[in-house]
Amino acid sequence: MSDAMSRPGTLVGQRVLRVNDGKLLTGAGTFVDDLHLPGTLHAVVLRSPIAHGRLVAFDAAEALTMPGVVDVLAPEEARDATRPLRCVWLMPGQGQVDYPVVPRVVRHVGQALGVLLATSVAAAEDGAERVRMEFEELPCVVDVEAALGDAAPQLDPGCPGNVAVDLPRGDPPDAVEAAIARADHVVAMRFAIQRLAGSPLEARGVVASWSPATGELTMWSSTQVPHHARDHLAGALGLALDRVRVVAPDVGGGFGPKDHLYADEVLVCLAAMRARVPVKWIEDRREAFTATVHGREQIHEARLAFDDDGRFVALHSDVLADLGAHPSNVGAGPAFVATGMLEGPYRFDSSGGRVRGVLTNKTPAGAYRGFGMQQAAWVRERLVDEAARTLGADPAELRRRNMIRADELPYTTHTHQNYDSGDYAAALERATELVGEGLPAAPDDGRRRGVGLCSYVEFTGLGPSAVQEIVGFALGGYETAVVRVEPDGRATVLTGVSPHGQGLETSLAQLAADALGLPITDVRVVHGDTATAPYSAAGTIASRSMTVGGGAVVRAAGRLRVKILDLAGHLLEAAPGDLEIIQGVVQVRGSPTAAVPLRTVAEKAWLAWGLPPGMAPGLEEKDLHDPQDISYSYATHAAAVAVDLATGRIEIERYVVVHDCGVIVNPMIVDGQTHGGVAQGIGNALLETLVYDDVGQPRIATFHDYVLPGTGEVPDMVVEHTQTPSPFIPGGMKGMGEGGTIAPAAAIGNALANAVPEIAHLVTETPMTPARVWGWLDAAGVATDW
Amino acid sequence: MTGPQTRVVRFAVNGRPVQVTTEVRTLVSDLLRHDLELTGTHVGCEHGACGACTVLVDGAPMRSCLMLAPQVDGRDVRTVEGLAVGGDLDALQEAFRSEHGLQCGFCTPGILMTLTGEREAGRTVEDALAALPGHLCRCTGYVNVRAAVRRAWSQLEGS
Amino acid sequence: MKPPPFRYHDPRTVEEALGLLAEHGDEARLLAGGQSLVPLLNLRRVRPRVLIDLNRVEGLDGVDAGAGVVRTGALARAVGVERAPAVASALPVLPEALLHVAYPQVRTRTTIGGNVAHADPAAELPAVLAAVGGDVRLRSAGGQRTLGWSAFFSGRHRTACRPDEMVVAVDFPVAEGFAYTFSELTPKLGSFAIVGACVGLSRSGDEVTGARIALCGVADTPVRLQAAEQRLTGGAVDAAALEDVRALVAGAIDPPGDLHAPGGYRSHVAGVLVVRGLRRLWGAPA
């Protein structure tokens, strides 16, 4: 690293208030439904009302007579005009590798079939009610284990037995079995993780506009991945990439599901091309529950083997991932990661797993914050606590005993994760300490109380590209930043990542401002428009924006700093090494009178007058940052709960997070991301679940049915950090956006089992609703009458 | 044109008189967002559960997605666009910025309107906190939202 | 999610509203606070041809807490009732229960009449009305009548209110010497009750002189638990009584299951809430 890049800045690590809050607080943000293009027509996506069947008739004649209805894009027309969407993460041997924009045989309720356009949303909904669709219904299967049965309907010819993916993970099965057989004890449990909806408060939506004159299609989209969406949109419609522009305006949350282009978005664009006026489609909430990918649903048959002295010997999980109707863009990826991160922060003689991705007649499952790592933590950390119970050991002590020590890092796991840096036990110690502090003496209210821990290691900063290639995830793992000092001395950062609440407009600016010696107010981050932003294959997913994207900013800004100092040295007749930049002025260190404003340096650079020999004009640097390796964040969460033995209701009385995500650029933002992650984790743990009936009809239509945590369900929490820099990321950051979500279910589940050990063996399913917990209490004979 | 399914609606938005001819079934959220292009009021569920669309009607916080356009005829409606008088953030907005009480910002306008209603009605910080369950936020985990409420109310009491 | 088309009327007087009802009958729906009806319209689960908006009708928003009864006009907003000092002193369980109705931003619109007329099985107010033995006052163009709560609630989202009738007031009698408490179990703060219980006692020393117990969320209509009330009356709220009451509650109801909880759980929790309510009211450990 050059001196410029390693120079300690004044802004990194500071609680810098966010630069874009003003517009969001005054209602001046621009979300996709806030766009009002003249002449816009409103789309309703026509969707399958059944879970499985062949569309045999489609008749829009009556709909077209309705007031305000302008056009109907029929399934046959859409099919003829589009190419299938590719699955992006392909597992070896995956039986289905793409899916049609409009299928001949629908496989889930809510699958898109066509589009109706009208002059208002209400008129479009009136019209859609008059579109007649007839189906030849086929038997359906909604349960993942039933889908494996001999009698199950077969959903895809490429996936016999409905198995789309079947692959081993980690050590060879024989080796894992042999290790398990050698151990003194085995805890074997079956865990079920429910189906969740990421539910960003702004659902999906697009505005599509086609210019026949230029042959250019523009799609404003509530997406996490504008370039990725553009690439797939052009592919689906057979357009050249330079004719397609995707803009992510302000985006009201993502959490994973907005990580790819959806078939319905292609249909809306196609309808706009035919209508030759802008078309807007805003997903409504009921629609979102079936049209947007779900997350999480997996079953794990898992075993932890250990010796009398508490040493972990082996770990194995056989995973059934319910992929839904077809592999989504990420397919069995979450199960791949669940098995890949199953070992967590511990040593094992042997570890492995099996991943089966199975098709069912439900909405496809895709990315959701925590991506497999939540499941891994739930399974492993519950097993660890049950091992402790078997041995009569303290759960914290058992963890400590088996944790990879700081001096053992870097460390390669059985699934080839190269853990980089940190001190896992330190986080455990501190969390254990903190959870006991400040807990009031338990009132004698008849409730049982307990404390639970969850320690995990988190894969962050998706990349490097070479790793992506190895695992078959067809997304370049790099990011690009362009950092420019404009002729007026202010800086512009162009980034390919696409923030939607994470505050990258501020934190990336902090990185650049530090390198360039500018105040934060003089740096502007530009993002989200494929016409102006540098190419980003992966976008803002997988806790990678600050590591991969931020690393690019650090490197580009660092190189730009070198050039600024070279040119300023030339102007000041001083050695560049003697110069520093303070608040936009380049000066000789210790001699502030020998100074030149950055603005003057910039003017010279962009005029290209009087440059030193060989120096190129301008002050702009571009960096393509393909990280050297993955960065692994880690944490221990601790929860203290009270359990009502009469109702099964769990109250979280204290929640502690001790976390390490490397160098923290903005502690305020990092804490905020952690709070939000924990809140989603609490929803996962206690509240949320997507339910289908036997014929594949969703029983969820509203936020009354699907229970998201509110302020009453999320307590204030203690969040502390340590900072072990990533050795691989310029700037030393590690990813952290997902971290909070990973641990709450396991920490709360362990706390419940600690409070009521009589039901410990039953604590295997989420959400732990009062009714479910009461069922466990009742089964164990510990439920009280009142 | 007016008929049994259309109405002329006259009301005040942020102190400004407006007149809109609209279908009677138009939701007030859509009236504000699309007829008047006051897009700061957001729509997250259209069934009253999320609170993103909350506005003040005659000073009281209400779900604008659960009101029909004719129902605001003659009323005084206030939206997030009316808070920062003269371009400066008001104390509540400042508290949200200072405490990082927002992330994606989609739910924020509704929360601000509820809290503005609570403040103007002279309600206590406990009342204000008790009104927060009426809002869903998917980003912040509510921790800093509550911190912002406490900050705003402590400033109110201190002033 | 936009409402289907309808014809809209916003009458200014009760008579005008009743005239419209008489004209349109069961093709019309009355719109009060709209906090239940408008979501149903937006979801297109109801599609009335005519919507009669009562929000501009004069004289239906009174709240009168005197002479042994809290009488609320049909259009009285929940938030007004909940914050009315006279109601709080006459019948404190009414504001206590109202605080469980959704959220403050909803209760600014929610009306007492609309809430009762919607007859949601999980709704809190009908249970309170059942516990206090309240009445619903109805009017039609042809006249008026008063129905006791048990005659009024006829099923899930169904009442004895005829298509040409509207609720004009709801009476919550204030019985001398009775103290009540309301509690519920919900999936989350402010959401629909899985089970709710309104429990009332009057006592003379260590003897219960009267008991009133009503539940929501356990049947299509609110349920009054007379057997349990009788068991309590004339004795103390002691462990034996509570055990009997719990069994009587379980015996009196057979709740259906739904997304949030199976029927057996509801039945059990009903007993828990009733017993806890009784213990709270009784004060002494039992």
Q: Report residue C284's pLDDT band, with 50, 70 and 90 as the boundaries.
A: low
Q: Which domain covers residue A554, as residue numbers?
A: 3-29+478-625
Do C72 and C167 share a domain, yes or no?
Answer: yes
> Mean pLDDT score of chain A, rounded to an integer?
97
Q: In whole angstroms, give the CA distance from residue B138 to residue B142.
A: 9
Looking at the partner chain, which of C2, C187, C271 has a beta carbon nearest the beta carbon of A687?
C187
pLDDT tops 80 at residue A688: yes
Confidence of residue A4 (pLDDT cuts 50, 70, 90): very low
A199/A283 Cα distance (integer angstroms): 12
- CB pair distance less than 8 Å for C105 and B68: no
Same domain (yes/no): C250, C185: yes
Domain boundary among A566, A599, A625: A625
Are A644 and A786 members of one domain?
yes
CB atoms A707 and C188 under 8 Å: yes
Same domain? A666 vs A732: yes
Size of interface A-B (CB pairs under 8 A): 169
A86-122: buried (b, 16+ CB within 10 Å) or exposed (e) per residue?
Answer: bbbbbbeebbbeebbbbbebbbbbbbbbbbbbbebbb
Residues C31, C98 within the same domain: no
Q: What percent of chain A has pLDDT over 70?
A: 99
| Closest B-chain CA to C38 | B66
Q: Are residues A489 and A594 in the same domain?
A: yes
Find all residues with CB under 8 Å of C129, minimum gap 6, and list them: C116, C136, C149, C170, C172, C222
Q: What pLDDT is stored for residue A6 in this prediction?
A: 38
A657 and A778: one domain? Answer: yes
Assign A683 to helix, strand or coil.
helix
For residue B137, give the amino acid letter: C
CA of B84, closest CA in chain A: separation in Å? 7
Is residue C18 situated within a structural domain?
A: yes
* CATH number of domain containing C137: 3.30.465.10
A548 Ramachandran zone, left/alpha/beta (phi>0; psi -120 to 50): alpha
- A713 contacts in chain C (CB < 8 Å): 188-189
Q: Is there a contact between C2 and B30 if contact means CB atoms under 8 Å apart?
A: yes
Domain harbouring A532, CATH code: 3.30.365.10
Tokens of B9: 């609606």
User: Cβ–Cβ of B48/C108 closer than 8 Å?
Assistant: no
A52-79: per-residue pLDDT in tens? 999 999 999 999 999 999 999 999 999 9
Q: Please say whether the beta carbons of C168 and C138 come within 8 A.
A: yes
Q: Which chain A residue lies closest to B144 (C-alpha atoms)? A: A672
Asked if A252 and B136 come within 8 Å (Cβ–Cβ), the reply is no
* B contact chains, 3+ CB pairs < 8 A: A, C
Same domain, A646 and A768: yes
Is residue A437 included in any domain, yes or no?
yes
Residue ranges of E strands in A360-486: 411-412, 418-419, 448-460, 479-485
Mean pLDDT of C263-280: 98
Per-residue confidence band for B87, with pLDDT thresholds at 50, 70 and 90: confident
Nearest-by-Cβ selection for C2 from A125, A702, A769: A125
* pLDDT for the residue numbered C172: 98
> Within this chain, do residues C126 and C200 fall inside the same structural domain, yes or no?
no
User: How confident is the model over A682-699, as a mean pLDDT?
Assistant: 98
Q: Do A31 and B42 touch (CB under 8 A)?
A: yes
% of chain B beyond a pLDDT of 90: 92
Q: Is the pLDDT of residue A1 over 90?
A: no
The answer to whether position C40 is within a domain reads yes
CA B92 and chain centroid, separation: 13
For residue C66, the model assigns a pLDDT of 85
Q: Are residues A684 and A616 in the same domain?
A: no
A205-211 and A185-193 as β-strands: parallel, antiparallel, unpaired?
unpaired
Co-location of C208 and C275 in the same domain: yes
Rounded to a whole number of angstroms, the distance between the first and last alpha carbons of chain C is 52
> What's C251's domain CATH number?
3.30.390.50
Identify whether residues A590 and A702 lie together within a single domain: no
Counting the structural domains of chain A, the total is 2
- Beta carbons of A106 and A113 less than 8 angstroms apart: yes
pTM comes to: 0.98
Task: For residue C23, give the CATH number of its domain.
Answer: 3.30.43.10
Cα(A83)–Cα(A236) distance, rounded to whole angstroms? 5
Is pLDDT of C87 > 80?
yes
Specify the DSSP class assigned to residue C234.
T
In a domain, C145, yes or no: yes
Cα gap A147→A163, rounded to integer Å: 9
Q: What is the mean pLDDT of residues A376-381?
A: 98
Angle, alpha carbons B151-B156-B159 (nearest 5°): 120
Report the amino acid identity of residue A414.
Answer: H
Q: Decide if C58 is inside a domain.
A: no
Nearest by CB to residue A691, choosing from C43, C187, C259, is C259
Return d(Cα C248, Cα C245) in angstroms, integer.
5
CB contact under 8 A, C190 and A769: no
Q: Which of C173, C208, C223 is the last residue of a domain?
A: C173
Query: Do residues C83 and C127 share a domain?
Result: yes
> Does the beta-carbon distance from A26 to B93 stay under 8 Å?
yes
Q: Give chain B positions within 8 Å (CB) of C35.
A: 48, 63, 66
Establish if A166 belongs to a structural domain.
Answer: no
- The mean pLDDT of A111-128, rounded to a whole number, is 98
Helix (H, G, I), strand (E, B) or coil at C220: coil
Q: Confirm whether A753 is domain-assigned.
A: yes
Mean pLDDT value of segment A230-235? 98
Give yes or no: residues C76 and C168 share one domain.
Answer: yes
Banded model confidence at residue C40, pLDDT cuts 50, 70, 90: very high
Task: Say if residue A324 is exposed, middle or buried (CB neighbours under 10 Å; 0-12, 13-18, 19+).
Answer: buried
Pick the last residue of a domain from C156, C173, C190.
Answer: C173
Strand partners, C28: C50
Any domain includes A604: yes
Q: Are the beta carbons of A337 and A370 closer than 8 angstroms?
A: no
Nearest CA in chain C to A127: C4
Task: Tell me the per-residue pLDDT of A315-341, one tens digit each, with 9 for 90 and over.
Answer: 999 999 999 999 999 999 999 999 999
* Mean pLDDT in residue range A353-381: 98
Same structural domain, C77 and C123:
yes
Cβ contact C259–A699 (<8 Å): yes
| pLDDT for residue A438 is more than 90 | no
Among candidate residues A775, A773, A767, the one with its CA nearest the CA of residue A687: A767
Where is the domain boundary, A585, A602, A625? A625
Neighbours of chain A (3+ CB pairs under 8 A): B, C
Distance separating alpha carbons of residues C218 and A751, to the nearest angstrom: 31
Q: Is residue C265 part of a domain?
A: yes
Q: State the DSSP code for A60.
A: -
Q: Is residue A434 part of a domain?
A: yes
Q: How confident is the model at residue A8 (pLDDT cuts 50, 70, 90)?
A: very low
Q: How far is CA A521 from the centre of its chain?
A: 29
Q: What is the pLDDT of residue A9?
A: 66
Predicted local confidence at residue C285, as pLDDT: 56
A599-640 per-position pLDDT tens digit? 999 999 999 998 999 999 999 999 999 999 999 999 999 999
Asked whether residue B159 carries a pLDDT value surpassing 60, the answer given is no
Instruction: State whether C101 and C124 are in the same domain.
Output: yes
Distance CA C26, CA A199 (A): 38
Same domain, A642 and A614: no
Tell which phi-psi region holds residue A320, choosing left (phi > 0), alpha (psi between -120 and 50) or beta.
Answer: beta
The verdict on A617 and A642 lying in the same domain is: no
Q: What is the DSSP string of A145-176?
A: HHHTSTTSPP--TTSGGGEEEEEEEES-HHHH
Within a domain: A147: no
Distance CA C250, CA C248 (A): 5
- Assess whether pLDDT exceeds 70 at residue A758: yes
Whether A433 and A496 share a structural domain: no
What ipTM was predicted for this assembly?
0.98
Rounded distance between C-alpha atoms, residue A620 and residue C80, angstroms? 62
Are B46 and B65 a contacting pair, CB within 8 Å? yes
- Contact indicator for C109, C33 with CB cutoff of 8 Å: yes
A462: nearest Cα among A319, A248, A259, A665: A259
Q: How many domains are contained in chain C?
A: 3
A563 closest CA partner among A618, A522, A609: A618
Around Cβ A438, how many Cβ atoms within 10 Å?
A: 10
Q: What pLDDT does A443 receive?
A: 85
CA A301 – CA A315 distance, rounded (Å): 11
**Average pLDDT score, chain C:** 97
d(CA A338, CA A323): 14
CA distances from C12 to A24, A192, C20 (A): 40, 57, 11
C113 and C48 in a single domain? The answer is no
Residues 6+ apart with CB under 8 A from A467: A477, A629, A630
Same domain, residue pair A653 and A774: yes
Residue A25 has pLDDT above 60, yes or no: yes
The sign of the torsion formed by the CA atoms of A41, A44, A46, A47 equals: positive
Compute φ and ψ for C24, nearest 5 degrees: -100, -20
In a domain, C2, yes or no: no
A434 and A552 assigned to the same domain: no
Q: What is the dihedral of CA A321, A327, A328, A329, to 10 degrees?
A: 110
In total, the C-beta contacts within 8 angstroms joining chain B to chain C are 93
User: Using an 8 Å Cβ cutoff, are A652 and A435 in contact?
Assistant: no
A480 strand-pairing partners: A624
β strands within C1-101, DSSP E: 7-9, 28-31, 50-53, 63-66, 69-73
- Residue A432 is assigned to a structural domain of this protein: yes
**Residue C13: domain span:** 7-53
**A657/A738 Cα distance (integer angstroms):** 13
Question: Which of A578, A595, A625 is the last residue in one of the domains?
Answer: A625
Average pLDDT over residues C74-91: 97
Residue A489 forms part of a structural domain? yes
pLDDT beyond 70 at A5: no
Tell me which of A538-542, A708-712, B155-159, C60-64 is least confident. Answer: B155-159
Judge: B71–C53 Cβ closer than 8 Å, yes or no.
Answer: yes
Does the pLDDT value for residue A7 go beyond 60? no
| Interatomic CA distance for residues C68 and A672, integer angstroms | 53
B2 pLDDT band (50/70/90 cuts)? very low
